[in-house]
Amino acid sequence: MTDLGGCPRVPLSDPRFHADPAALYQDLRRDHGAVVAVELPGGVPAWLVIGYRELHQVTSDPDLFPRDARLWNQREVGRPEWPMPSMAGPPTPSITGTAGGEHRRHVGMVEPSLEAVDPHELRRTCEELADQLIDAFCGRGDADLVSEFARPLPVLALARVLGFPNADGPQLHGTLATIAHGGTDAKVAYQAFAAHTKRLLAAKRSRPGRDLASRMLSHPAALSDEEVVLDLMAVILAGHLTTADWIANSVRLMVADDRFAAAFGGRRSIGQAMNEALWEDTPVQVVAGRWAARDAVLGGRGIRAGDLLLLGLAGANADPHVRRHLADGGAPAAGNSAHFAFGYGEYRCPFPAQEIAEVIAQTGIEVLLDRLPDLDLAVPAADPARRPSAFQRGMTALPVRFMPVRALGATAEAAQPHP
């Protein structure tokens, strides 16, 4: 392998990043320390920060490690076929595409607008949507929880939050599923999503409501229509797949781990399982990126001005320096949310967005387990179909089985027994 500052590089294409990340991060820490020289697709070098203290240092110092790709000393290396060409492109006028004062301007509009979402109303919405999704498969006795529940629920709920009409929900789900899948159709799907959001904004300008789009339009910051559209898109794009993975990873933990009782009434708290999933199986494993504003030393490594740093959230969560302080022999104690699942510092996921994701995920899981208390995995717990990515930790499918039950709105005969 080539090197970066004299260090051998670890390819991010290594299948262990999604097959067995816990063992991989242990090996990386032993062989490379808290800051690992890695190689992105296309042979592009970067630093992967997997030390808890080192990641805290990077995310706490936006002056030394800003989110500004214009500093990148590898900008000319990126090729059109590179999986992350946006990293080398110009910044976009959105909450996720700006830095410094411009970023704070967007946060100043997005965060209070999200904070105004009524959690009780959101919970009622999620209960309604979860029941509708479960009704579609509960009579069969089997389902794929990823495609039939975990992925559509956040899209449908966030569409309501943004102000999309209920009838637009299924179309949005299909569009975002195409974007998440990547491939040749993703760009066309993204453009369709942008056009759909522009139409929403035009509708809310003429008839505002009690939704996120209307609140952002009326905010005194007075962002341009382009900026509001991009911020609305960022909210749903950032919340869709991550919340879906949080739901699926949490459900898998609850039905597969011996510490959780088989019957719903004997389970540990759903909230505790969700928190543990963020520590052990966090949906966002690696975040790109930060760029060194000047030469620095991090974790004993010499970082050059313009070097790209990848935030190894999962690696930092597994750092033995922090794990030894947790309860149950290294498992996170109930209520301990000192993980990096939502990032940290100036560019963290906004707190109201975290709360919205938690309401959606927890309500969905509660309804699911209430409706289907005997839910069990239909595949070996140790062999889920994982998305092949070093950056996100999610399943492409989660087959489950249960005793068939009648849909809540059904008036026909009871569901047939599961064969």
As a whole number of angstroms, the distance between CA 156 and CA 177 comes to: 12
pLDDT of residue 131: 97
pLDDT higher than threshold 90 for residue 381: no
The structure's pTM equals 0.91
> Does residue 163 contact residue 218 with C-beta atoms inside 8 Å?
no
E-strand spans in 58-205?
142-144
State how far the Cα of 120 lies from the Cα of 356, in Å rounded to an integer: 11
Give the pLDDT band (50/70/90) at residue 360.
very high
| CA 316 – CA 391 distance, rounded (Å) | 14
DSSP state of 101: H
Say whether pLDDT at 291 is over 80: yes
Q: Which domains does the chain have, with CATH numbers?
A: 3-401 (1.10.630.10)
| pLDDT surpassing 60 at residue 81 | no
pLDDT of 6-24, one tens digit each?
Answer: 568 999 999 999 889 999 9
Distance CA 30, CA 150 (A): 36
| 313 pLDDT more than 80 | yes
pLDDT band for 124, please (50, 70, 90 cuts): very high
Range of weakest confidence among 79-93, 146-160, 166-180: 79-93
Q: Is the pLDDT of residue 82 over 60?
A: no
**Nearest C-alpha neighbor of 360 from the set 240, 254, 268:** 240
